[in-house]
Structure 1
Amino acid sequence: MSAFVEHPNLSPRSMQARAYQLIAVDQVLSKSTLLILPTAAGKTAVACMAIAQRLKEKSGWVLFIAPTVALVNQHMKNSSIAFKDNLNWNILCISGKDTVETRQSLWGTSRVIFATPQVVRNDVNNGRLSLKDCCMLVVDEAHHCVGSHAMRESARLYLSQADNCLVMGATASPSSRIEKIQEICNNLEIENIHLRTREDRMIINYLSELEINEVKVDVPNKLRELAEPFIIWQKQIVDRERRLGTYVYPGEIGMSGLANAMDRSSRAIKMGDSRAYSSVSNIATAMRLNHLINHLLCQGITAAGEFLDRMQEESKKKKSSKEFLEDYRVRNLIIELSNSEEYHSKISAIRRIVIERLRNDEDSKIIIFSTFRDTVKALEAALSEFEHIKPIQFIGQSSKSGSIGLSPRKQIDRLEKFKSGEFNVLIATSVGEEGLDIPSADLAIFYEPVASEIRMIQRRGRTGRKKQGDVAVLIARETMDERALLSSRKKEEYMYKSVRRVARRFPSSISNLRNISDFSVIINGNKQNIREYVNHEKDKFRTELSIVDNSLDIQVGEENRKLPPQKFRPDGQTGLEQF
């Protein structure tokens, strides 16, 4: 059964009818809402329908912001298809690649503008843009609306200037921390949270299956030998701090324990303990060692080399970095790395996975995620050796550590080449994790697990968007990889609990579908009232309650009814203070 949404501002048959999306649209139009849906569940579709109705009811224009140029461009293309051509809305995409003069001439000429938050913030602050007549703000990847991020600043400016505010924040991964979710809501002046998970009965049939495989590899002995001097060095520092009572965490040395020790030392300094200055210096060294050890064991020599290159840059400004690099163990490592090529087991594992995938399906498209650019470069070189593998890098705009970034235009161009099949393996840093819709990508490979639940969810969301997808997570045995994977899982499990806790702080919001009365649904050529369609879908997935209680009667024996004397409580006693 084919069902499509009909609306005066939407192109015919451009929007598939999904009841859970229509309920979300009704909520978004009623008050400022944080929409939390799984990746590929159609947050952009909800935004398009909400925009269509908002611009039917209100004068003015809508601003849609997203964190990257590639994502902004993608949203504009998808939305342009959704809206009718004869509306004269002049839909635009504005970003930093446009000159100041061009941007100033474009603002005010469109009813729907897609933009990066940096240009919105800068142009408002410099008087080139007024948000007074903006009747709706859509914030994609709303989990960025914290701290001093440009997303948060743009939202603040909108809320302070607009005459008729309505905000829709959208994300698949808000956070597992209640305080961060609350901060997002505060910064966007959210009045309602609309949440659905992958397990929701109304949504589950629309999502493709996603199979996640853990690929465990052994760290080469050579890398363990390279890391050993630094493991001993770090242990010596931590043992000393344990004796002083600064490092108090039991078990393996980790960043959380080191961060706690740094806090304790800083507090001791404020209390006048001059001995704590030495602890602060030692713990800072242990933190650098922790990063270096994990780079060697979990990433390989290219990432470790990149880390030391950054240290070289820091050493020009920081005395502690300079002293660290002058240690004979670090100098020996730098010499060793400069004479070596990447040989981490993860490289060969990725080769094997990619070759096998393309052998079984020559039209397959694969995305590989890695945290570090040097690893991306090493992976591209390793895969380019095979004729049928056509890899391409996808990295951020900034140029650092001798690596030249990609301009927004080049990023978009590379994505288009990957989608068209000119390249079949996209090797990306974190810039490729968020929001990008690549329907044909059917395998995502994580070079490393990340402890952040937000990044893990976003990475997974790049595959299995229109058909079944697979995810392969590479894990180096007996390293931080194992702890990072466990950490992200626990945080993801807790994330929805945290969202629900924050949601309970808002007044309950019941969807009566009043805000979407201008919508209808076309089913096999026949028009159906939107309320009837949604209610029918809700009834179809409603959980049936049993009329008869079939639970077993619990027989309580005479011996279970008797309480021992120590359980007795005098009449009127309600607390220990009355004992």
Structure 2
Amino acid sequence: HTYDPEAIRTWIFPTNYAKRDYQFNIVQKALAKNILVALPTGLGKTLIAAVVMYNFYRWFPQGKVIFMAPTKPLVAQQIGACYEVCGIPPAETVEMTGSLPPKTRKSLWDSKRVFFLTPQVLQNDIQRETCPSSDVVCLVVDEAHRASGNHAYCEVVRELTLRNPHFRILALTATPGQDNDIVQALINNLRISMIELRTEQSADIVKYLHGRTVDTVNVPFDDSLRRIRSDLARLITTYVAQLPGSGLPTDGTRVSPYQVQLARTRSRQRLSGPAQINQMRWAEALFAVVSNLSRAMQLLSYHGVRCGHACLETARTEAMEGPRPPSKTKRELYEGPMFRGLMTQMQEHLKDPARYSHPKLARLESIILDHFSRDDIVASLPAGQSTAASSPTTTSTTTRVMIFSQFRESVEEIVSLLSHHSPLLRVMSFVGQSTGKTGKGLSQKQQLEIIRQFKSGNYNTLVATSIGEEGLDIGEVDLIICFDTQGSSIRLLQRMGRTGRKRQGRIVVLLAEDGEEALFKRSQQTYQKVQEGIMSRKWDLAFCRDSPRMLPAPVIPECSEQALDI
């Protein structure tokens, strides 16, 4: 790569923001090696990325600098964030989307130097040779924990390396993975030479963290929900009993969709011979039924009757009214008295105005109303943010709440419930772009507008699916409520990272009886195990030794701390 001999004598660290030693130290290492940076949410990974990108932009006048993020809203957000840190000229910067014609993208690759895009766009342009791969000098990978298997992140690095082995990689994440093998795969896929990991207990970041409390609330089932679960469990057990040797639990409440998937895979391997084709078809039909029923049990137990009923009704409609006639097994299930009786029971529960779909909803409602009526919420805000003596109206203007639930049906139910408390609660749903069975998703423009209104106070309560977990700058949030529990330590960490950034925060995790508490504890233990395994070097991780030297030997640039014109 052609370099600027004057520029490479220094690397610049901007003083426009208060200097944090851990950011400075990580940037210094990231300029020289391919590094995976694992920092808790809200501690300035974007600043690290922007400074690294800026220095490669300075050093290589013809080089291409690329920032990859997994979703379009994240891509759009990072353009502004990086510009605010270092002020790379907007005329040299572009957001590339798949909606741009290939010819237009080719022109932009030729004329621009700094690119913000999703990995799918970059992969396509590399394969079409629209992207000048040989000119790439720096690649930033946001939410890098996604780089597993055949994810587009992995394909991009492989394709680029084939054409140009000399480029710097900076990978960013809140936590790198669930176990040793996953972290090792991440290292291999992104050619990582070093991990820079910090936890909330790390000495160099503790002073930048604001305290946050984590409260778990155990929620028992009510009698109606308990009866419905019992009837659904009997239905599951009926079909599991027809799968001898499957290894599935005989208690229908203990059969999870993941267990069904594993048992189904084993069955396919066992019944793979030509002589067993009829037996395999019969087993496949049974597994399909058990899979649908176990998913409904999970939704019923953790999210409530409405979500469980919607799951069963969707499965019934697809089977009985789809383009293909239903299998004998499905017809017997959906036309049978046990299924019909179960659906009637669920409908009766939902018709009763005095009943919540799940007792969690009652606890959620109580916690939120209590939060918005507390005097100390306004009192704890920084000077200038509260406007008068505390009152429900003042509190609802200054404080923000975010609720996470995995499924859209649950999000819409929570929004409907809390909207009855307007204007104290100004509630909005925040979901992904894809169109689901419950309706259309939100476009990128709509998502960004909702975030803007939430940050400005037009909404004070946001109810989000996983789209709200990852990376997006939601603003200050005082209370996080996890309506369900994530088995993934990464997603749990990202949810919790939405609060406690600039002031004290609180997290409440609602745990349904019969299994959800154990799931929550397991995800916390997994996170702690990963951090300990990496930091104590108990894990025997093999790092890539071929981080390219980007500057000519023996040049070692000296740091110049200076304010940048932005």
TM-score, structure 2 as length reference? 0.81
1:466 correspondence with 2:502? yes
Q: Residues 424, 232 of structure 1: CA spacing in aligned structure 2 closer, same or farther, 3 A cutoff?
A: same
Q: Which amino acid aligns with 1:385?
A: H
Q: Using CA pairs under 8 Å that are at least 6 residues apart, name the structure with larger relative contact order, 1 or 2.
A: 2
Quick one: distance in 2 between partners of 1:477 and 1:306?
22
Greater mean deviation of Cα atoms: 259-268 or 226-235:
259-268
Task: Tell me what 2:299 maps to.
Answer: 295
Contact 1:367 1:427 in 2 (8 A): yes
Once the 2 structures are TM-superposed, how far is the Cα of residue 313 of structure 1 from its aligned partner? 6.5
Out of 503, 506, 517, the position equivalent to 1:482 is 517
Task: Tell me what 2:33 maps to.
Answer: 31
Q: Which amino acid aligns with 2:73?
A: A
The Cα offsets for residues 530-567 of structure 1, whole Å up to 9 and x where unpaired, read as xxxxxxxxxxxxxxxxxxxxxxxxxxxxxxxxxxxxxx
Greater mean deviation of Cα atoms: 256-265 or 215-224:
256-265
SS at match of 2:254: coil
Task: Tell me what 1:447 maps to.
Answer: 483
1:1-80 matches, within 5 Å, as: 13-59=15-61, 60-80=63-83
Out of 367, 371, 380, the position equivalent to 2:406 is 371
Q: Which amino acid aligns with 1:304?
A: G
Q: Which runs of 5+ in 1 are unaligned?
A: 1-6, 523-579
SS at match of 1:107: helix
Q: Residues 451, 99 of structure 1: CA spacing in aligned structure 2 closer, same or farther, 3 A cutoff?
A: same
1:349 correspondence with 2:333? no
Once the 2 structures are TM-superposed, how far is the Cα of residue 444 of structure 1 from its aligned partner? 1.1
Quick one: distance in 2 between partners of 1:183 and 1:521?
38
Q: Which amino acid aligns with 1:82?
A: V
1:520 correspondence with 2:520? no
Once the 2 structures are TM-superposed, how far is the Cα of residue 147 of structure 1 from its aligned partner? 2.3
**Percentage identity across paired residues of the two chains:** 29
Quick one: distance in 1 between partners of 2:431 and 2:558?
44
Out of 166, 190, 200, the position equivalent to 1:188 is 190
Once the 2 structures are TM-superposed, how far is the Cα of residue 311 of structure 1 from its aligned partner? 2.2
Q: Residues 126, 67 of structure 1: CA spacing in aligned structure 2 closer, same or farther, 3 A cutoff?
A: same
Contact 2:241 2:250 in 1 (8 A): no
Task: Tell me what 1:495 maps to.
Answer: 530
1:151 correspondence with 2:165? no
Greater mean deviation of Cα atoms: 33-42 or 489-498:
489-498
Once the 2 structures are TM-superposed, how far is the Cα of residue 498 of structure 1 from its aligned partner? 4.7
Greater mean deviation of Cα atoms: 74-83 or 7-16:
7-16
Once the 2 structures are TM-superposed, how far is the Cα of residue 290 of structure 1 from its aligned partner? 1.8
The Cα offsets for residues 41-90 of structure 1, whole Å up to 9 and x where unpaired, read as 221111112112222222312100111122112211111111136x5663
Q: Residues 310, 490 of structure 1: CA spacing in aligned structure 2 closer, same or farther, 3 A cutoff?
A: farther
The Cα offsets for residues 450-480 of structure 1, whole Å up to 9 and x where unpaired, read as 11111111111112222221111111122x3
Contact 1:9 1:52 in 2 (8 A): no
Q: Which amino acid aligns with 2:559?
A: D
Q: Which runs of 5+ in 2 are unaligned?
A: 1-8, 378-394, 547-554
Contact 1:443 1:469 in 2 (8 A): yes
Q: Which amino acid aligns with 2:247?
A: Y
Once the 2 structures are TM-superposed, how far is the Cα of residue 288 of structure 1 from its aligned partner? 2.6
1:411 correspondence with 2:414? no
Quick one: distance in 2 between partners of 1:248 and 1:311?
21
Task: Tell me what 2:392 maps to.
Answer: none
Quick one: distance in 2 between partners of 1:96 and 1:507?
32
Quick one: distance in 2 between partners of 1:128 and 1:428?
37
The Cα offsets for residues 96-142 of structure 1, whole Å up to 9 and x where unpaired, read as 46565654443343332211222222333344433321210000000
Quick one: distance in 2 between partners of 1:81 and 1:377?
35
Q: Residues 50, 285 of structure 1: CA spacing in aligned structure 2 closer, same or farther, 3 A cutoff?
A: same
Task: Tell me what 2:415 maps to.
Answer: 380
Quick one: distance in 2 between partners of 1:459 and 1:61?
34
Task: Tell me what 1:253 maps to.
Answer: 254
Contact 2:10 2:557 in 1 (8 A): no
Task: Tell me what 2:380 maps to.
Answer: none
Q: Residues 97, 335 of structure 1: CA spacing in aligned structure 2 closer, same or farther, 3 A cutoff?
A: farther
Structure with bigger gyration radius: 1
SS at match of 1:247: coil
The Cα offsets for residues 192-235 of structure 1, whole Å up to 9 and x where unpaired, read as 22222221111221122221111222222222222222211323
Contact 1:394 1:427 in 2 (8 A): yes
Quick one: distance in 2 between partners of 1:488 and 1:437?
24
Structure 1 stretches of 4+ moved >6 Å: 7-11, 248-252
Task: Tell me what 1:165 maps to.
Answer: 167
1:400-439 matches, within 5 Å, as: 400-439=436-475
Quick one: distance in 2 between partners of 1:428 and 1:372?
9
Over the aligned positions, Cα root-mean-square deviation in angstroms equals 3.1
The Cα offsets for residues 147-179 of structure 1, whole Å up to 9 and x where unpaired, read as 232333333333333463111111112211222
Contact 1:438 1:462 in 2 (8 A): yes
The Cα offsets for residues 279-311 of structure 1, whole Å up to 9 and x where unpaired, read as 555444333322111211210123223423542
1:392 correspondence with 2:428? yes
Out of 325, 338, 343, the position equivalent to 1:329 is 338
SS at match of 1:22: helix
Task: Tell me what 2:235 maps to.
Answer: 233
Task: Tell me what 1:308 maps to.
Answer: 312
Contact 2:296 2:309 in 1 (8 A): no
Quick one: distance in 2 between partners of 1:73 and 1:503?
38
Contact 1:28 1:168 in 2 (8 A): yes
Task: Tell me what 1:93 maps to.
Answer: 95
Out of 137, 142, 157, the position equivalent to 2:144 is 142
Greater mean deviation of Cα atoms: 107-116 or 361-370:
107-116
Contact 1:445 1:474 in 2 (8 A): yes
Task: Tell me what 1:552 maps to.
Answer: none
Q: How many pairs align?
A: 509
Q: Which amino acid aligns with 1:180?
A: I
Quick one: distance in 1 between partners of 2:365 and 2:522?
27
Quick one: distance in 2 between partners of 1:505 and 1:400?
41
Once the 2 structures are TM-superposed, how far is the Cα of residue 410 of structure 1 from its aligned partner? 0.8
Once the 2 structures are TM-superposed, how far is the Cα of residue 396 of structure 1 from its aligned partner? 0.7
Quick one: distance in 2 between partners of 1:36 and 1:420?
30
Quick one: distance in 2 between partners of 1:138 and 1:453?
23
Q: Residues 351, 126 of structure 1: CA spacing in aligned structure 2 closer, same or farther, 3 A cutoff?
A: same
The Cα offsets for residues 505-540 of structure 1, whole Å up to 9 and x where unpaired, read as 23799xxxx966223389xxxxxxxxxxxxxxxxxx
SS at match of 2:479: strand
Task: Tell me what 1:204 maps to.
Answer: 206
Out of 542, 556, 565, the position equivalent to 1:505 is 542
Greater mean deviation of Cα atoms: 498-507 or 167-176:
498-507
Contact 2:427 2:463 in 1 (8 A): yes
Q: Residues 306, 516 of structure 1: CA spacing in aligned structure 2 closer, same or farther, 3 A cutoff?
A: farther
Quick one: distance in 2 between partners of 1:293 and 1:250?
14
Task: Tell me what 1:545 maps to.
Answer: none
Contact 1:142 1:174 in 2 (8 A): yes
Q: Residues 443, 98 of structure 1: CA spacing in aligned structure 2 closer, same or farther, 3 A cutoff?
A: farther
Q: Residues 310, 186 of structure 1: CA spacing in aligned structure 2 closer, same or farther, 3 A cutoff?
A: farther
SS at match of 1:436: coil
